Amino acid sequence: MILLSLAKSIKKIVLIVFSYLPSFLKIFLYRLAGADIGNNVEIGLGSVIIPFDFDFKKIHIGNDVLIHDGVQILSKTFNIGIKSKIKRNTRIWGQSDFFAGKDVKAS
């Protein structure tokens, strides 16, 4: 029981630290884990995108996407089209797929 609690605490700490990495480093690590991320993408400080099963191949982000600071996304899959924006402190949580076409402005 204690080990399970410790593992959850460590996972939360890792996610918090990861979320505050600079955008270029965060994107590099997402790509390294298998995410499909286009060009000219920015993921703000405190923002994180996590697939439920931690299969980062389920993240697809088009070109020219801006995800502002403090955005938390937890979904089965995550797909967002080109030139889309997600405003500060938006939370997208669900056990379903998330899909947004091009030029979407979420706030």
pLDDT in tens, 6-16: 677 777 777 88
Residue 72 pLDDT grade (very low, low, confident, very high; cuts 50, 70, 90)? very high
What secondary structure letter does DSSP report for 56?
Answer: G
What residue ranges in the chain does DSSP mark as E strands? 36-37, 42-43, 48-51, 59-61, 66-67, 72-75, 77-80, 85-86, 91-93, 97-100, 105-106
This prediction's pTM: 0.86
Domain count across the chain: 1
pLDDT in tens, 42-63: 999 999 999 988 899 999 999 9
Q: Which domain holds residue 61?
A: 2-106
Contact 75, 56 (CB under 8 A): no
